[in-house]
Amino acid sequence: MPSLQSKPDATLPLRGSGEQVPIFHAVLVWHELTAIQEHFPEVFANLVAVASGQTTQITSESKPVLVEHLLINETDLDIHPSIPAVLRASYQATPDGVVLVNPLVARTEADRAAIEENEQVWNQCGAMVRDVLNRRTSLPQSWVDRAVRDKWTPIEPAGRGGK
């Protein structure tokens, strides 16, 4: 089970812009963008249009998907300015289509280890958060936010593979 050895608020630069972003945030956004690209291509196209400045509007069809994937707040439905920045940093056009690569610049082995560590934590946290959201439980949003911020490890409930 991974534990976060690096600072939770550690930052690295984004490819292209050099903008410093928290590693965990960039990893979360990158993974969610990849899922949206794969499962919701029309939503992904809308995000690309926003990130490239072709439009400033998130379509009404895109909003529920982006809320579910933790990319916009359910209350105000605003897209965080870092989302387009991470998208631009990870976006690579290839002859076979668009590929989303790791948006962070890792200059040292310690940088690479911090990225890997944050990916492992997101894989565990992401599963727990997604499970909560998919069940539409009555957990307060502040609990979900805290789970992501503090990188809680999900615990399997009894009867679902737990002890």
- Average pLDDT over the chain reads 77
| For the chain, counts of helices (H) and of strands (E) | 6, 4
Q: Amino acid letter at 144?
A: V
5 part of a folded domain: no
11: nearest Cα among 33, 31, 27, 35:
27
158 part of a folded domain: no
Q: Amino acid letter at 99?
A: V
| pLDDT per position as a tens digit, 91-133 | 999 999 899 999 999 999 999 998 988 888 877 776 666 666 5
What's residue 162's pLDDT?
Answer: 42
46 part of a folded domain: yes
- Residue 161 clears pLDDT 90, i.e. is over it: no
| pLDDT per position as a tens digit, 24-68 | 888 888 988 998 999 999 999 998 888 888 887 888 888 888 887
Mean pLDDT along residues 146-155: 53
Higher-pLDDT residue of 29, 154: 29
Q: How many CB atoms lie within 10 A of CB 33?
A: 24
32 part of a folded domain: yes
2 part of a folded domain: no
| pLDDT per position as a tens digit, 4-14 | 455 667 888 89
- Residue 2 clears pLDDT 50, i.e. is over it: no
Tokens of 64: 């529920």
What's residue 73's pLDDT?
Answer: 73
160 part of a folded domain: no
30 part of a folded domain: yes
What's residue 83's pLDDT?
Answer: 86
- Residue 148 clears pLDDT 70, i.e. is over it: no
Q: Which domain holds residue 51?
A: 11-150
Count: domains in the chain: 1
113 part of a folded domain: yes
